[in-house]
């Protein structure tokens, strides 16, 4: 009798490798101690990469990579153009340069601004926000001035995670204080506590199934707490978010649960009843950041007062 040919077993196509999650670390005066404490407390197998930007004189021969290598078993490299960013590695800025991140590689440039006006931390954080979106992480450590504040705002606008050093623990507290005053910081902590706080936020989002894939019983268990949170948001903001995608709502709330080291959505709902200002932060996280342009009066004034008049003045006779 003829035999029916057997079909080869179905194979699952390999999953594409996940993009390495990058933590940007910005420091200035007094920042070396903070960087050493942070990296010394960072597990060598966190799965994340760490890019360090510290203010330094353009002619200064840096030993930063050597100094940081003493406190971590992760390889520490001075950044070079087009260097591939690998997990569990540390990358350090070279003197007289700016670092940006694009498609998993480091790019080294030179600022056109004179010394004293350069903002290399903002440059790095801005590129992280654009490249990594809600996976971007920025940390502002000890330093003078306000470098890093605008970059953290860019990260926050894309749904990323923003941290600032506890000012009392910083040798120079201007940079952390300015970052905190910008209103975009999720976590304020000492450098020794920051790595654990970052992992606490990141791991639940990578190790657990996405909300849309979670077992039905687990989603139903969130139901009462989610309804309570949405009702509080509606009372506070006058916006009804109940028609938003449930996966988006649960993902945003889950992150705030982790930021505050809570163990459940119900605990977060209770936290909100005693901390109404957290409702404003949660509501802001639910909004789509890229539309903020249309709500920025300064940009519209610039368009009206400068851009359009110059365009009109250059028009031809026809």
| CA gap 244, 86 in Å, rounded | 35
Answer left, alpha or beta for residue 82, where phi above 0 means left and psi between -120 and 50 means alpha. Answer: left
| CA gap 36, 49 in Å, rounded | 16
Q: What is the DSSP letter of 92?
A: E
Active site residue 55: yes
CB contact at 8 A, 142 and 176: yes
SS3 53: strand
Q: How many CB atoms neighbour CB 277 within 10 A?
A: 9
CA distances from 28 to 121, 165, 186, 271 (A): 9, 12, 21, 35
Q: Of 88, 122, 131, 147, which is the active-site residue?
A: 147
CA distances from 234 to 119, 201, 238, 256, 280 (A): 39, 26, 5, 18, 11
Sign of CA dihedral 204, 23, 44, 72: negative
Active site residue 182: no
Active site residue 239: no
| Residues sharing a CB contact under 8 Å with residue 63, sequence separation 6 or more, in sequence order | none
| CA gap 186, 181 in Å, rounded | 12
Six-digit token pair at 72?
Answer: 């971590």
3-state SS string for 111-151: CCCCCCCCCHHHHHHHHHHHHHHHHCEEEECCCCCCCCHHH
Catalytic amino acids? 28, 55, 147
């Amino acid at each position: 009798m003829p035999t029916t040919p057997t079909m080869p077993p179905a194979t699952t196509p390999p999953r594409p490798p996940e993009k390495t999650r990058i933590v940007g670390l910005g420091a200035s005066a007094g920042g070396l101690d903070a960087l050493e404490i942070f990296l010394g407390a960072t597990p060598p197998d966190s799965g994340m990469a760490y890019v360090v930007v510290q203010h330094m004189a353009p002619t200064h021969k840096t030993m930063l990579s050597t100094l940081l290598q003493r406190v971590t078993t992760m390889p520490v490299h001075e950044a070079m153009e087009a260097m591939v960013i690998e997990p569990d590695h540390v990358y350090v800025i070279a003197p007289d340069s700016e670092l940006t991140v694009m498609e998993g590689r480091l790019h080294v440039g030179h600022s056109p601004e004179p010394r004293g006006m350069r903002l290399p931390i903002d440059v790095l954080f801005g590129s992280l926000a654009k490249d990594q979106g809600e996976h971007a992480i920025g940390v502002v450590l000890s330093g003078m001035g306000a470098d890093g504040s605008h970059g953290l705002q860019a990260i926050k606008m894309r749904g990323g995670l923003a941290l600032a050093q506890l000012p009392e623990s910083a040798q120079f507290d201007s940079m952390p204080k300015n970052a905190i005053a910008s209103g975009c910081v999720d976590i304020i902590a000492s450098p020794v506590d920051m790595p654990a706080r970052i992992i606490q936020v990141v791991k639940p989002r990578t190790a657990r199934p996405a909300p849309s894939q979670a077992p039905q019983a687990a989603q139903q268990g969130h139901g009462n707490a989610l309804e309570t949170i949405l009702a509080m948001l509606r009372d506070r903001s006058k916006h009804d978010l109940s028609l938003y995608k449930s996966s988006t709502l649960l993902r945003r709330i889950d992150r705030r649960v982790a930021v505050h080291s809570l163990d459940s959505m119900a605990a977060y709902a209770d936290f909100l009843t005693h901390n109404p200002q957290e409702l404003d932060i949660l509501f802001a996280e639910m909004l789509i950041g890229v539309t903020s342009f249309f709500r920025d009066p300064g940009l519209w004034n610039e368009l009206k007062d400068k851009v359009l008049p110059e365009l009109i003045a250059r028009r031809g006779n026809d």
